[in-house]
Structure 1
Amino acid sequence: MVEMGKKSATFRFVVLNGRAYVEKYKESIQTRDVFTIWGLLQLLRRYPGKVPDLDLMFDCLDFPVIRKKDYDKFNSTVAPPPLFRYCSDDDSYDIVFPDWSFWGWAEINIKPWNLLLKDLHKGNKRTKWIDREPYAYWKGNPWVAEHRKDLVKCNVSDTQDWNARLYIQDWIRESQEGFKQSNVANQCTHRYKIYIEGSAWSVSGKYIIACDSATLIVTPYYYDFFMRGMMPLQHYWPIKMDDKCRSIKFAVQWGNMHEQKVQEIGKAASSFIQEDLKMDNVYNYMFHLLNGYSKLMKYKPTVPENAVEICSETMVCTSQGFVKQFMEESTVKGPAYVSPCVMQPPYDPQTLNSILDTKVNSIKQVEKWEKDYFEQINQV
């Protein structure tokens, strides 16, 4: 089953007696594979001797590929291969793992998460929410997906103001100027920030949500490892994918009329990022995921024929530039003083269904408010 995932995998990662081995299959986008492997090595440093033997395949591309329909129990006798990646969706079996940028995104000079969290915390304090621009802000590359191109149509114009201020990111110019305008800690300047997926899930989610600004999330199709733990009207405001402009206009209008409530939403989201998504918990998620995965293995892993042993020291020594810098800044200095957190038992079906119903009902409530608002305007 594991080797069935090879055709899609970027690399194979094996842990054997606390030592790590990697077999690479294809080139990765930028340094995604490098920092993902680096993150796995830091887990081994944080919990030495506690990460069990395992053998896994990792795909560094965005789109999930293990489609549930291909392994329907009524049509197939073949089990789906366990393939790790950064996101999945409700129609796929891909296993979700923290993305590479938690240890740094060298190509656009985004620091490792442990340092960036501190910068974001300081950035939040520079401008109080009430003093921020009373509009919805987004900055990014619209050319990666049709729904992003559609979002740009919601920008302010001579004839219409949808309460959105949208900016196209010029990555070529930014790279030439040292990414001076791309510091995410300096972008907590508007009361509202928009999250919209790119070609699949977008790594920008955690940076956007970390501002005290209320996050307007355009209906997502994909999920990463933490966003399903966020609740509409508690951590974010839902925006309809098929009617973005009107939905954004209403969200901002409602928020500016209910300042206390929308500030609470922004604060709850940034607290979620600062506390629930701090690196201690990222490593705990990784540990429990890999520990649970290893318990399912029915064979003892061996070192693949073309694999090489890797360790943190050799990766740092053979790197340079931002890659080397970010590795040094995200290095786990030594074993953790405490054991991994205790995994709580899964939700019982009744509790889980109650949570899911609350999500659905909260979104329906927003849609009703929005519908009533525009009906009232049209009557006037």
Structure 2
Amino acid sequence: MRPDQSQAQAKEARAGSVRNTGTSPCYGDKIKRRGEEKEHRGVAFPSPHVSVRPSLARPVLARGRAEAYAAARLRDGGGGGEGGPAAVSGAPGCGGAVPGCERRRRRARLLRGARRRGSRLRLLDVCQRQSKKLQVTPITPVATPTIARDAAKGPEPAPGQPRFASVATSTNQAPRDLLPPVPSPAGAAAPAARECPAYFRWIHEDLRPWRDTGVTLDAVERARRYAPKFRVTVVAGRLSVARYGRCFQTRDVFTQWGILQLLRRYPGRVPDLDLMFDCEDRPVVGASDQPPPPLFPDWSFWGWPELNIKPWEALRREIEEGNAMASWTDRAPYAYWKGNPNVGAGRRFLLRCNTSGNRDWNARIYAQDWGEELRRGFRESDLSKQCTHRYKIYIEGRGWSVSEKYILACDSVALMVRPRFHDFFSRGLAPLRHYWPVRDRAAAMCRSIKFAVDWGNAHLDKAREIGRNASRFVREDRAMGRVYDYMLHLLSEYARLLRYRPAVPRGAAEVTIESMARGRRGRERQFMMETDVAADGGAGGEGPCRLPPPFSA
């Protein structure tokens, strides 16, 4: 605050700053009693909560008292006021006294001055009477030595918000708590994003083989020898696809649909890229040939219409609703598996662990005939109604199996037969925390399953905790938002390794939401509509999670 502003506020406080909405001669006037009030420069008046010194309080004189005061001064021969006589001694012919004519003139001037002073005093008296009816604006003290000494004597309460604002205290600014909220500037930093789940770190490890050499155009073109089924190119946020072969069922369709949803969820964030896709069950790149390609979420997250497997988000909610309908202890105390046993040797071994007349391995194994299920309308293959046992078995088929996420969501203890392949999220699972490991050999497999079931039935609380940890992992770290975040970070890190500028290859065609949905019928169209990301980005204003650093530099 400037010194002149502080002095103006101090003078206004001494005058009794009042805001009056009527026509009053006191509004905005600065009234002083001449000869009695001096300007105290450099002194700031305290707030109403601080006691006022008696020396600052002045009496109010009425007109009659002013005239008596003037008459007394006249009798005493003293001076003062406007036109007041000065004492004269030794005047010729007066003997120290004032002649009569001059005395009368001086008396008249003195009375006129007293009347004028009386008018000012009456006006001051009116203003002070009005101030008792109105709320006087408190003056906030400034830091001066005087106030500092007064404050050192004891604490004082903070002054309250004034009810009226006065001219004396106005600084052309509204009170702080009456101002509208200040909008955040356009360039203000957004709230910090939450860190991605721990398994996102494997993105760095999967791409480590290309960290030094990068990914060249020649390396991408040479991948044609592995007979990929299609090539995806993103340039300026537009998806183009070059098809080299036919995928099984609609795996390619819903993989491309998922990439389109990623572009809509995070517009402008997906960099330009160029990569090959295969859609078979087994990997096509041998570990001894060259480093394996990075892992990518499979098509089933957006639905598998041929098997009536709903999109992941909708099916996960149905599984959770089924979990809440029945108590965990009321479930069948056995290990459960249902699937196609003809796609892998491990599944054929698993059939031997079924209950027989000679031995009960605490397992209930059912073979799934998908052809028969198709004819029956999938009445016996609803995954949301298969969480009726305390333990569920996961075993790979020809390659990895999409069933892993559905088993983990069941609240049951996942008995995981030792896998050979990874899903993109499975490296975030910990044994005996999210699942129970099971041996992968025939006889050892059955004994391992029986031991796990017997142990879980003897330790219900611990077994139930393993099932809940798995379902919590699926609910929090495997929601569709995290799936899209994984895709974004994987493709962004991959694009940084490119040693060329991606361009749409010859024979590729642009793919859009409209072109993919055109002509789709039945469950294909239904699943596409259910997984269509909103046009505003679909993330609800929330950006992607923050990618954790690699395990080692």
Query: What TM-score comes out, normalization by structure 1 length?
Result: 0.85
Deviations 1:174-211 (A, max 9, x none): 00111111111100100000000001111111011110
Q: Aligned partners of 1:226 and 1:187: how far apart in 2?
A: 22
1:85 alignment partner in structure 2: none
Residue-by-residue CA offset, 1:35-58 (whole Å, 9 max, x unaligned): 000000000000111100000100
* 1:231 CA displacement: 0.3
Please, which of 345, 352, 359 is the counterpart of residue 549 of structure 2?
345
Q: How many angstroms apart in 2 are the aligned matches of 1:208 and 1:342?
A: 28
Q: Say whether the 8 Å CA contact 1:127–1:188 is kept in structure 2.
A: no
When the two structures are aligned, how many residues end up with a matched partner? 329
**CA deviation after TM superposition for structure 1 residue 257, in Å:** 0.4
Structure 1 residue 159, shift from structure 2 partner: 1.0
The answer to whether the aligner puts 1:57 opposite 2:276 as a matched pair is yes
What secondary structure does 1:241 align onto?
coil
Is 1:37 matched up with 2:256?
yes
Equivalent positions of 1:149-228 (< 5 A) are 149-228=348-427
- Alpha-carbon deviation of 1:67? 2.3
Counterparts of 1:127 and 1:194, CA distance in 2? 20
Structure 2 letter corresponding to 1:330 = T
Equivalent residue for 2:529, pick from 321, 328, 343: 328
Q: Take 2:318 and 2:224, find their aligned partners in 1: how far apart are those partners?
A: 39
Give the 3-state SS of the residue equivalent to 2:271 in structure 1. Answer: coil
- 2: distance between equivalents of 1:124 and 1:133? 13
Q: Is residue 2:334 matched to residue 1:135? A: yes
Q: Distance in 2 between matches of 1:316 and 1:347?
A: 41
Q: What letter matches 1:344 in structure 2? A: P
How big is the shift at 1:345? Answer: 0.8
Cα distance in structure 2, aligned partners of 1:63 and 1:199: 6
Q: Structure 1 stretch 92-101 or stretch 185-194: which is displaced more?
A: 92-101
- Structure 1 residue 347 displacement after superposition: 2.2
Q: Aligned to 2:550, what secondary structure does the other structure show?
A: coil
SS of 1:150's equivalent? helix
2:224 aligns to what? 6
1:315 pairs with 2:533: no
Give the secondary structure class of the aligned counterpart of 2:455: helix
For the residues of structure 1 that align with 2:258 and 2:355, how far apart are their CA atoms? Answer: 41
> In the alignment, is the contact (CA less than 8 A) between 1:64 and 1:94 conserved in 2?
no
d(CA) in 1 for partners of 2:439, 2:296? 27
User: Which whole-Å CA distance do the structure 2 matches of 1:264 and 1:28 have between them?
Assistant: 40
* Structure 2 equivalent of residue 369 of structure 1: none
Please tell me whether the aligned partners of residues 136 and 252 of structure 1 are also in contact (alpha carbons under 8 angstroms): yes
Match of 2:500 among 299, 303, 316: 299
Name the CA distance, whole Å, in 2 between partners of 1:309 and 1:134.
53
Corresponding letter in the other structure for 2:515: T
Conservation of the 8 A alpha-carbon contact between 1:65 and 1:94 = no
Equivalent positions of 1:81-160 (< 5 A) are 93-160=292-359
Question: In 2, distance between residues paired with 1:314 and 1:34?
Answer: 11
| TM-score, length basis structure 2 | 0.59
Match in the other structure for 1:287:
488
2:59 aligns with none
Q: Matches of 1:256 and 1:341 in 2, distance apart?
A: 39
Residue 250 of structure 1 deviates from its aligned partner by 0.4
Q: Displacement, 1:275?
A: 1.0
Q: SS of 1:2's equivalent?
A: helix
Give the aligned residue type for 2:274.
D
Deviation for aligned residue 1:307 = 0.4
User: CA separation in 1, counterparts of 2:277 and 2:240?
Assistant: 13
Are 1:68 and 2:287 an aligned pair? yes
Which ranges of structure 1 fall in alignment gaps of 5 or more residues? 72-91, 350-380
| 1:278 paired residue number | 479
Give the AA of the match of 1:199: R
As a proportion of its length, which structure holds more strand? Answer: 1
| Shift in Å, 1:314 | 1.6
Specify which of 17, 22, 41 is matched with residue 241 of structure 2.
22
CA-atom RMSD in angstroms: 1.1
Q: Secondary structure at the match of 1:60?
A: coil
Sequence identity of aligned pairs in percent?
Answer: 54
